[in-house]
């Protein structure tokens, strides 16, 4: 068996926390991170996370059960904080004894962290920390680990780059807390760098989206292999009153359609036909639908091709185990050269 002693040592806290061989998380990707990819990641020594997205509690129930049939290794579930049935989804995770719940999409609503940690089957809570102040608040509120994710990432993004977030947050937090770094990681050399800065592990999405085990449509994968870093662009907000979290995706007609959708929702908001929360939810549902069109149906023109800037480093379909082995070997080589 190949081992990566220097990398594994730096990942030790993350590995202990996740219960996986490596502290490489595959971040949840709506429609992509389902039973096949999640189980493959965990079976290969990474940590897979189911993307609940807009799933109903019944659908999540089935997805967790099916994933558990495919792996006996730990995996997590990513829940979106604005999901109207968040507490029912938490109960589903509890029923299955899911060990780790990732809360994404905003500050966890009151009682959610307690519900995850306090039930009959307590789970660990992982939260996204967009700023240092919020990171400290999340830790005080009971988060067991944090993900700091830069704007190079695919999907919903914040305004700050991974390298700056890492420099700002790791020296303050990493000695006493578990911090995973995400966004723009395509090679193991970058993993080595963040581990040396104090991260306990990393999270990647784009790098795994086109793995052999990913159910993404072949045309979705082809679009990724053809793209370069500069094709993965952030969406723009068209209306001041309608705060829309930017999304990084490959340029296509679908990205333009999103601008039109924002204008349409802003119009409805103008006419006071819906409340702000509902308007934002409509935007999120739009993304989920557009992503499904691209990932599942292969409509790479009108669908959303959410991808991070590391997409330029993807050239071919590879099994998850090979990707993880390569990342670990590259990290090890970089650390050995120090």
CA distance 212 to 63: 20
Of the candidates 172, 100, 77, 102, the one whose C-alpha atom is nearest the C-alpha of residue 131 is: 172
Minimum CB distance to ligand FMN smaller for 37 or for 335: 37
Minimum CB distance to ligand FMN smaller for 269 or for 293: 293
Minimum CB distance to ligand FMN smaller for 20 or for 203: 203
For 172-183, give the DSSP string.
HHTTTSEEEEES
Both structure tokens of 334: 């970089």
* In the complex, least distance from residue 58 CB atom to ligand FMN, rounded to whole angstroms: 19
Among all residues, whose Cβ is closest to ligand FMN? 205
* Sign, CA torsion 119/125/128/132: positive
* In the complex, least distance from residue 264 CB atom to ligand FMN, rounded to whole angstroms: 23
Minimum CB distance to ligand FMN smaller for 197 or for 288: 288
For 69-121, give the DSSP string.
HH-SS-EEEEEETT-TTHHHHHHHHHHHT-SEEEEESSSPPTTHHHHHHHSSS
Residue with tokens 């595959």: 26
Of the candidates 314, 17, 9, 332, the one whose C-alpha atom is nearest the C-alpha of residue 147 is: 17
* In the complex, least distance from residue 270 CB atom to ligand FMN, rounded to whole angstroms: 29
* In the complex, least distance from residue 199 CB atom to ligand FMN, rounded to whole angstroms: 14
* In the complex, least distance from residue 288 CB atom to ligand FMN, rounded to whole angstroms: 8
* In the complex, least distance from residue 311 CB atom to ligand FMN, rounded to whole angstroms: 8
Minimum CB distance to ligand FMN smaller for 279 or for 306: 306
Minimum CB distance to ligand FMN smaller for 147 or for 242: 147
Chain positions contacting ligand FMN, by CB under 6 A: 27-30, 32, 51, 53, 78, 104, 149, 152-155, 182-185, 203-207, 209, 306-308, 310
């Amino acid at each position: 068996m190949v081992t990566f002693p220097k990398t594994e040592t730096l990942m030790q806290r993350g590995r202990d926390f996740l219960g996986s061989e490596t502290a490489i998380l595959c971040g949840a990707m709506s429609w992509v991170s389902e039973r096949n990819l999640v189980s493959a990641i965990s079976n290969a020594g990474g940590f897979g996370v189911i993307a609940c997205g807009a799933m109903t509690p019944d659908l999540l129930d089935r997805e967790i059960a099916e994933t558990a049939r495919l792996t006996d290794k730990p995996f997590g579930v990513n829940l979106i904080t604005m999901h109207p049935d968040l507490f029912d989804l938490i109960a589903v995770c509890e029923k299955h004894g899911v060990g780790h719940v990732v809360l994404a999409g905003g500050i966890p609503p009151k009682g959610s962290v307690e519900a995850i940690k306090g039930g009959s089957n307590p789970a660990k809570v992982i939260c996204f920390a967009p700023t240092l102040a919020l990171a400290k608040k999340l830790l005080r509120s009971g988060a067991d680990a944090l993900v700091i994710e830069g704007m190079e990432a695919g999907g919903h993004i914040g305004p700050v780059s991974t390298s700056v977030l890492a420099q700002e947050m790791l020296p303050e937090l990493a000695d006493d807390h578990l911090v995973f770094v995400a966004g723009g990681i395509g090679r193991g050399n970058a993993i080595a760098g963040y581990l040396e800065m104090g991260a306990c592990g990393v999270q990647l999405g784009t790098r795994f989206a086109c793995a052999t085990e990913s159910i993404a449509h072949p045309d979705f994968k082809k679009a990724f292999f053809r793209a370069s870093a500069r094709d993965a662009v952030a969406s723009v907000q068209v209306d001041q009153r309608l705060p829309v979290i930017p999304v990084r995706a490959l340029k296509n007609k679908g990205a333009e359609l999103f601008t039109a959708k924002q204008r349409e929702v802003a119009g409805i908001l103008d006419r006071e036909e819906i409340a702000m929360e509902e308007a934002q939810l409509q935007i999120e549902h739009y993304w989920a639908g557009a992503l499904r069109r691209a990932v599942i149906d292969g409509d790479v023109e009108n669908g959303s091709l959410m991808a991070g800037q590391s997409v330029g480093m993807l050239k071919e379909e590879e099994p998850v185990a090979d990707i993880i082995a390569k990342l670990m070997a590259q990290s090890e080589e970089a650390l050995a050269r120090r």
